Amino acid sequence: MGAVMGTFSSLQTKQRRPSKDIAWWYYQYQRDKIEDELEMTMVCHRPEGLEQLEAQTNFTKRELQVLYRGFKNECPSGVVNEETFKQIYAQFFPHGDASTYAHYLFNAFDTTQAGSVKFEDFVTALSILLRGTVHEKLRWTFNLYDINKDGYINKEEMMDIVKAIYDMMGKYTYPVLKEDTPRQHVDVFFQKMDKNKDGIVTLDEFLESCQEDDNIMRSLQLFQNVI
């Protein structure tokens, strides 16, 4: 995701060389004009159903066009499989092992369980994470933590997520991590979230607990209107 966002900053205006004579300058002008027109054609190339995506997401048509170009730059085939997704995501965590967390994240993007993420999947999730309502963002996060998609978060799932996060951040972030630290974090999570103490966290419990936590609510606001 960040890799796609990073492509935006690389767009730069072409620099034309100084002309030696009128004929040379005219040739350069015509060549650059053709290149610019071709580039604009690429930018304006729209995936099928762009109007529908505009209606379904919180992005404008122009934003969707730019996002699509970035997506195609990273994934020329128009889809990304899990292995490629892991490779892209690993670039942002060079000191750790992001493969497990990227696996869970990929599954959250791949809502149809097709084994690949299309642009439509990507931009729908991005719209929620960046510009969705609080409930939409929390529901998406709950789905990420609900690894087996049974509608609940149990302690084993939360332990897997926490361990994956520690592995991703790496030893430079947690140099003296104790073996039982992930378990302690999971216990704190369930003490706060599991309202009826039945050993699982439901969506309603998750939504209620998160909205009662000022730190969680502030973190959600950091993603608001990033683009």
What are the pLDDT digits (tens) for 63-103?
999 998 888 888 888 899 999 999 988 988 888 899 999 99
Is the distance from CB of 35 to CB of 15 less than 8 angstroms? Answer: no
Return d(Cα 112, Cα 121) in angstroms, integer: 9
In percent, how much of the chain has pLDDT > 70? 71
Query: Is the predicted pLDDT of residue 190 greater than 70, yes or no?
Result: yes
- Decide if 38 is inside a domain: no
pLDDT at 8: 30
> 159 and 213 share a domain?
yes
Is the distance from CB of 104 to CB of 164 less than 8 angstroms? Answer: yes
In percent, how much of the chain has pLDDT > 90? 47
Domain containing residue 83: 52-132
Query: Is the predicted pLDDT of residue 12 greater than 60, yes or no?
Result: no
Average pLDDT over residues 157-180: 79
Query: Is the predicted pLDDT of residue 109 greater than 50, yes or no?
Result: yes
Helix axes 214-221, 134-145, angle to 10 degrees: 100
Q: Is the pLDDT higher at 132 or at 39?
A: 132
> 161 and 105 share a domain?
no
**Among residues 74, 104, 132, which one ends one of the domains?**
132
**Among residues 93, 109, 132, which one ends one of the domains?**
132
Closest CA to 123 of 111, 135, 115, 133: 111
**148 residue type, one letter:** N
Q: Is the pLDDT higher at 160 or at 74?
A: 160
- Decide if 1 is inside a domain: no
- Decide if 208 is inside a domain: yes
- Decide if 36 is inside a domain: no
Average pLDDT over residues 8-21: 39
202 phi, psi to nearest 5 deg = -85, 170
Q: What is the pTM of this model?
A: 0.71
> 127 and 204 share a domain?
no
As given in the structure block, the two tokens for residue 76 are 């020329």
> 149 and 193 share a domain?
yes
**Among residues 87, 114, 132, which one ends one of the domains?**
132
Structural domain total, the chain: 2
Lowest average pLDDT, out of 47-51, 53-57, 168-172, 174-178, goes to 174-178
Sequence-distant (≥ 6) Cβ neighbours of residue 12 within 8 angstroms: none
Average pLDDT over residues 48-61: 86
- CATH code, domain with 89: 1.10.238.10
Q: For residue 81, give the 3-state DSSP assignment.
A: strand
pLDDT in tens, 37-51: 444 444 443 455 788
Where are any strands of DSSP class E within 65-189?
79-81, 116-118, 152-154
pLDDT at 138: 94
